[in-house]
Structure 1
Amino acid sequence: MLIQGYFDLRFERVRDSFAALFENPQERGAALCIQVSGETVVDLWAGAMDRDREATWREDTLVNVFSCTKPFAAVALLQAAADGRLDLDAPVSRVWPEFGQAGKEGITARHLLSHTAGMPAIHESLPPEALYDWHRVTVALAGQSSWWTPGAEHGYSPITYGWTIGELLRRIDDMGPGKAVEARVCRPLGLDFHIGLAEGQFERVAHVGRAKGWTGDAAAQRMLNAMMREPNSLSTRSFTNPPGVMTSTNKPEWRGLEQVAASGHGNARSLAGFYAGLLSGALLDSEMLSEMTREHAVGDDRTLLTSTRLGLGCMLDQPGVANATYGLGPRSFGHPGAGGSTGFADPDLDIAFGFVTNTLGPYVLMDPRAQALARALGDCLDVSAA
C-alpha cells in the first residue's frame, strides 16, 4: 500500500503503524495527522475513497467523522457563554422558551453538553423524513419530558445532542447551527471541516462502508444485542429514531445536513488542527477550557451500556478502561466517532491527534486502530520514561 504525505523521522514508528492498518484487506482508506507543540510531525493518508476502490484517497479527501463533530459544537456554545450570550447554568428556556415544559424547566446547557439532561432519545416515534426536518424534531424535543431527573444520571445523546445544542446555537447566532460552528471555530483556524457540506464539495467525500466479520469487544456486543432484541430500549431509540440515522452517511441529504452531533465532514488534519487550537488558547481561554475538560459525569452510561467519563461536549480519558482510553496521558480529552475516526488532545504532552477512516468498525467508544496509532506515538515520545 502506498502511504502518502509527510512524517518526521522521529515518528517513523507511527508511520509504520499506520501502514500496518492496510495489511487487513478490508481497510479501505484512512488519514492521520499529529501535531506536537503546534508542529505537524505526521500527516499521512492512504487507500481508496470510493465504493469500488478505484479512486485513491487524496490529500484533500473529506469523510463523515460522525461524533467527532460534537466537540466543535460544544466549543461554539462555550464561546457564546464566554461572550455573555449564554449562561451555562441558567435554564435552557431562557434561550429556547418552548423547551421549558414537561418538567424540563431546570435543564441547563451544562446538562445538555454533559449528557446528564435525560434527553438521549425522542419519545415520539418519528418517520424517516423527520431526520431532515429540523423544526419537527426540535418541537418534539421541546415538548417531551426527560428520561430521568436531570443531573441524577448520564446517558450519551448520540443524535439528539445535535438538535438541542444546535437549536441553542441557531437562536444565539441567528444562523444555521453548522454555519455558526464554522464561523466561530473552523474559519478562524482555517480548518477544512464542514457541518452542512456544500454540494460542490461532495466529490471530495469518501464513501463509507462497514467492515465485515469484525465482532468488536464486549461493549459492542452489549449494544448490538440491545438493538437487535430490544426495539424500545433507550439505546435502540437513541440511535434509530428518526430512522435512517445509522444508514444515511453516503446520502447527499446527510452531507448537506447541519446536524452538529454527527454530520461533520473533515479530515485528520482538521481534527488535529481543532485540538491544537484548543491547546494553544486560540478557541477558548484557559478557564473555559478547564471547564470543558472537567469531569461532569462518570460511570455506567444508560445509552451506551459501558463506562463513560464526560466533560462538556467531550469524552475524558479512562486509563483503566480498555475501550475508553486514548492511549496516552490520563488528562487526554476528545471524542471518538462511530466506526473509528477519532480526535483528541493530550495537554500534558501538548499533542493534538486526528485519525479518520472510511472503514467502519463496530466499537462503541475507542477503535483499536486509533489506539494502536496513539501507542506508537507514545513509544516515539518515550512516554513511559517521562
Structure 2
Amino acid sequence: MRGKLRHGNVPLRGIAIVAILLVIAGAATASATLLFLGEQPSPPQLAAPPPIPAPGPEPDHALRDGQPGEVGLNPAPIAAAQGQLAAGTQPSPGHPHPSYAGEVSLLARDGVVVSRQATGFALRYADAQGPELPAEQQEKTQNDTIFDLASLTKLFTSIAVLQLADDGRVNLNAPVADYVPEFAASGKQKITVQELLTHTSGLQAKIELWRLPPPARLPAVLSATPQNPPGAVYRYSDLNMITLGVLVERMSGRPLDAVVHDRITAPLGMTDTGYRPPRDKLHRIAATEFETDPPRGLVRGEVQDENAWSLGGVAGHAGIFSTADDLAVLGQALLDGGTYRNQRILRPETVRAMLTNYNTAFPRNAHGLGFELDQPWYMAGLSGPHTAGHTGFTGTSLVIDPGSRSIVVLLTNAVHPSRTWGSIGPARLEIAQGMALALGPPGHDG
C-alpha cells in the first residue's frame, strides 16, 4: 500500500509531509528466523512483523531504457519533477544560492528506465565562499557522473553482512563480540549484529575520529561506551556501520573494499561503483566541499566524510562512489529477490528480511536490516511499510518500492562548495513524488 501523498494537488517543492505511523506487531516467519539463527533458534532481539510474503519465481529484469507509458506511468508528473530538479541548480527568490550545484536523477519501473536527467555542474565553484569558476573551467554533470554516495555506503556494508549470514558464517542475533572480541569492551558484550543493522545498539551517533592519532581511530570505535542499553532507543549511528565493516573484514579475511567489489559490484556489473575511485575517472567525479576542518581544500575523488577519510577512504558508513545507473542496478537486484542478469548476491528470503521492519517499538524509525523503511520525508507518496531506501549527506538518495516495482535515484553534490549552502530535502521529495503521481491513485497497479 503506497502512501496517501499521491492524492490531490500536492506541491512538489516545500511539500508538507504528514506521516501515517504504522505499528504492526508480529514475528518473523520460521524460515526467516532459522536463516539467521542457525540450528539453535532463539527469540529475535527486536519484535518484527511478518516479512514480505514470498512471491513466485523471482523475475530477473535487465534494466533497459523505455517510455513511461510502457509500464503504465503518466509522463506528466515525471516531467514536472524533472523541471523542479533542474530549477534547484539555480538561485531562487529567497534563496541566493542553488540548492545543489548539479544533479543526476533516474526513475525505473518493472526493469524499464523511464527517466534519466543530468543538470547543473559537477564542478562549479572556486572556493568555499562561492565565487564561480570561469565558464570554461566549470564542468557540467552528465548521466554517468560519479558521485560520493556518503551514507548510501551503509547499504553495501549491510548487504555484505547479510551475505555472511547467507553463508552461515554470521548469526544476526549473536553478539557482535563473538566476531569482533574487542567490541565487548565498555559493556557492549550483549549488543547483537541485528542491533547494529537497525541502529538500536545504544551507541552514540559519531566520534570525531580524524582528530585522533591514526592508530587510535578504530580502537576508539570498538571501545566506545553505549549511551543506552541495547534495544532501548533508536539512534542513527555511524559507529554501528563502522563496526559492521570491521566484522565483514574479520569474518571474510579480506578488506572491506575487496569484499564489496568481489561479492556485490562485480557480479552485478556495477563498473563505476566502489571505494577510492581510480584517478583516471577523476574527470567524471562530482566535486564536493572545500573542507577546512580538517584542511583538505576542494574534495574531489576522495570521500568527503571526515571519518571515512581518516580511515583511509574505506569504512562501513561512508566512502563508496557510484552513478545513477549503477545504483539502479542494485535497486533492481533487490526488487528481483537478490539477483540481476542471473547473478545472485542474496537469497530471496534474505531480501525479504532486509525489507522487514524490526523497529516496531520506534514507529517513526521503521528499519529493516540496513535499509530505512516507510520514511515519507524523502520517499513522499511512495512511502509504505516495505518501501526501502537511504539518504547520504552529500545529497544522495535511493528509494525502492516493491509494491510498485519502482526505483528512484537522486544524486547531487549539495555540499559543493559548502555544506552550509544547499537544501536537498525538497528535491528528494520532488523526484519521489513525481514517480508516485505517475503511478496514479493509490491501489493503481499500472
**TM-score interval, normalised by the smaller of the two chains:** 0.7 to 0.9
Distance in 2, matches of 1:371 and 1:258, equals: 30
- Whether the aligned pair in 2 keeps the contact of 1:296 and 1:310 (CA below 8 Å) is yes
- For the residue of structure 2 that corresponds to 1:48, the secondary structure is strand
Which residue does 1:379 correspond to in 2? 437
SS, match of residue 442 in structure 2: helix
1:66 corresponds in structure 2 to 150
* Cα distance in 2 between the residues matched to 1:179 and 1:59: 26
2:277 matched to 1:197? yes
Shift of 1:366: 7.9
How far is 1:97 from its partner? 1.3
Q: CA deviation at 1:9?
A: 5.1
TM score, norm. by length of structure 2: 0.68
Q: How far, CA to CA, are the matches of 2:404 and 2:149 in structure 1?
A: 24
CA shift at 1:162, angstroms? 3.7
> 1:235 — aligned with what?
none
Return the match for 2:381 from 327, 334, 339. 327
Cα distance per residue 1:34-66 (max 9 Å; x no partner): 221122222222221113362121232111121
Quote the offset at 1:22 in angstroms. 2.3
What corresponds to 1:294 in structure 2?
356
Unaligned runs of 5+ in 1: 1-5, 211-242, 302-306
Deviation at 1:109, TM superposition (A): 0.9
**Structure 1 stretch displaced more, 84-93 or 18-27:** 18-27
Closer, same or farther in 2 for the Cα pair 1:14/1:167, shift >3 Å?
A: same
Instruction: Give the counterpart of 1:128 among 211, 217, 221.
Output: 211
Match of 1:345 among 395, 400, 421: 400
1:242-265 residue CA offsets vs partner (Å, 9 max, x unmatched): x75999854736576112312221
Aligned-residue sequence identity (percent) comes to 26
Alpha-carbon contact 2:381-2:433 (below 8 Å) kept:
yes
- 2:177 aligns with 93
Shift of 1:343: 0.4
1:101 partner SS:
helix
Matches of 2:258 and 2:423 in 1, distance apart?
A: 27
Given the alignment, which residue of 42, 67, 70 partners 1:8? 67
| Secondary structure, counterpart of 1:310 in structure 2 | coil
2:42 maps to which residue?
none
Partner of 2:190: 106
Q: Which runs of 5+ in 2 are unaligned?
A: 1-64, 70-74, 91-97, 125-132, 340-344
The match for 1:37 is 110
Which residue identity lines up with residue 326 of structure 2 in the other structure? S
The question of whether the paired residues in 1 share the 8 Å contact of 2:174 and 2:192 is answered with yes
- Matched to 1:171, the amino acid is R
Counterpart amino acid of 1:71?
L
User: How far apart, CA to CA, are the structure 2 residues paired with 1:380 and 1:50?
Assistant: 32
Say which SS state the counterpart of residue 42 (structure 1) adopts. Answer: strand
SS at match of 1:85: coil
SS in 2 for 1:118: coil
Q: What one-letter code is carried by the residue in structure 1 that aligns with 2:398?
A: G
CA contact (8 A) 2:148 2:303 kept: no
RMSD, aligned CA: 3.1
User: What letter corresponds to residue 195 of structure 1 in structure 2?
Assistant: Y
Partner of residue 22 from structure 1, selected from 82, 86, 90 = 86
CA distance in 1, matches of 2:296, 2:391: 16
Report the counterpart of residue 315 of structure 1 in structure 2.
Answer: 372
Shift of the 272–362 alpha-carbon distance from structure 1 to 2, 3 Å rule, reads farther
Q: For residues 162 and 96 of structure 1, do their structure 2 counterparts lie closer, same or farther at Cα, with a shift above 3 Å needed? A: same
Report what 1:280 is aligned to: 336
Asked which structure has the greater CA Rg, the reply is 2
Q: What does residue range 164-175 of structure 1 map to in structure 2 within 5 Å?
A: 164-175=243-254
Question: Is residue 329–residue 348 contact of structure 1 (8 Å, CA) maintained in 2?
Answer: no
Task: State the partner residue of 1:215.
Answer: none
Correspondence for 2:72: none
- Report how many residues are paired: 337
Partner of 1:224: none
Change (3 A) 1:7 1:88: same
Task: Kindly report which structure 2 residues correspond to 1:149-164, keeping only aligned pairs within 5 A, or say none.
Answer: 149-157=229-237, 159-164=238-243
The answer (yes or no) to whether the contact 1:60–1:204 under 8 Å persists in 2 is yes
**Partners of 2:367 and 2:423 in 1: CA distance:** 12
* TM-score calculated relative to the size of structure 1: 0.78
